[in-house]
Amino acid sequence: MLDAIARALLLDDTERTHLFDHARAADGISLSGRPRRRSTKNTLSRPSLHWVLNTITDGVAFVRDQHQDLLATNELGRAFYSPLIGAGGRTPNLARFEFLDPASRDFYPDWELFAEMCVAIMRTEAGRDPNDKGLHDLVGELSTRSDVFRQLWGAHDVRTHGSGTKRFNHPVVGELTLAYEELIITADPGCVLMIYTAEPGSPSAERLRLLASWAATGSIAAAPR
């Protein structure tokens, strides 16, 4: 019956999965018939994951969880996300940065598109695990503090990240156009490895190289804008 509904509504793969997740939740069955393991602590402390991240030197690599927390990055990732990471405090969160920090509108030239994507990904995660208190708390916080988030959350759009291209405006090196790939970390359900890379020989590739130099030395030559 659900297959027939999905076909009639012309749902894409992500929307179809979201429909089935909600049906399982209504029957008291979590994703894949079993509760999702919480593994944030293991993700942060597992040396092998950090070794993998540190082998990626020409691209931005980071791990995020289903709450949009930025759990770990490579060196270039720390430089890339310096407007988000800041100077300590609680774990950096991509959704809080998007909706609560004015700096995000400079960092993301296509801010509205990023906002829609962020909320749709969170909607998908909420369907996978409707009993996730951490995600419920984050949604409540953002709904209270951001009118835009509240409106987008009410639209009930869902999507996965997958792959594609995004534009950024970094405060150190300027505009970057980067391709992204999302890789599921099977050892840590709910966590993904994201990698941003630039087309070889492009201005963005040169700017990433300059950003890596800035991360390593704290100084940088004039970057092409």
> How many domains is the chain partitioned into structurally?
2
Q: Is 44 exposed, middle or buried (0-12, 13-18, 19+ CB in 10 A)?
A: middle
Question: Is residue 33 over pLDDT 60?
Answer: no
For residue 79, the model assigns a pLDDT of 95
Between 56 and 33, the higher pLDDT residue = 56
HSE-CB at 143 with a 13 A cutoff on CA atoms is 13
Residues 94 and 51 in one domain: yes
Question: Is residue 121 over pLDDT 80?
Answer: yes
Residues 93 and 15 in one domain: no
Residues spanned by the domain of 14: 1-35
Residues 1 and 63 in one domain: no
Residues 30 and 42 in one domain: no
196: phi then psi, degrees, rounded to nearest 5: -110, 130
Between 5 and 64, the higher pLDDT residue = 64
Residues 13 and 43 in one domain: no
Residues 98 and 189 in one domain: yes
For residue 34, the model assigns a pLDDT of 41
What does the pLDDT look like over 4-18, one tens digit per residue?
Answer: 554 554 444 544 444
Residue 139 lies in a domain: no
Residue 129 lies in a domain: no
Strand, coil or helix: 171: coil
Residues 56 and 78 in one domain: yes
For residue 160, the model assigns a pLDDT of 72
For residue 1, the model assigns a pLDDT of 59
Between 10 and 193, the higher pLDDT residue = 193
Residues 31 and 81 in one domain: no
Residues 79 and 12 in one domain: no
What is the CB neighbour count within 10 angstroms for residue 72? 20
Residues 1 and 91 in one domain: no
Does pTM surpass 0.85? no
Residue 150 lies in a domain: no
Question: Is residue 32 over pLDDT 70?
Answer: no
Asked if residues 62 and 75 have their Cβ atoms less than 8 Å apart, the reply is: no
Residues 22 and 84 in one domain: no
Helix runs in 9-132, H state only: 13-26, 40-45, 47-55, 75-80, 82-85, 94-100, 104-107, 111-128
For residue 89, the model assigns a pLDDT of 57
Residue 12 lies in a domain: yes
**Tell me, what CATH number does 164's domain have?**
3.30.450
Residue 128 lies in a domain: no
What does the pLDDT look like over 203-213, one tens digit per residue?
Answer: 999 999 999 99
Residues 9 and 100 in one domain: no
What does the pLDDT look like over 126-172, one tens digit per residue?
Answer: 888 889 999 999 999 999 999 999 999 999 887 777 899 999 999 99
What does the pLDDT look like over 100-110, one tens digit per residue?
Answer: 999 999 999 99
Residue 97 lies in a domain: yes
Residue 148 lies in a domain: no
Cα(13)–Cα(19) distance, integer angstroms: 10
For residue 128, the model assigns a pLDDT of 86
Residue 82 lies in a domain: yes
Task: Say which residue the tokens 């800041």 belong to.
Answer: 86
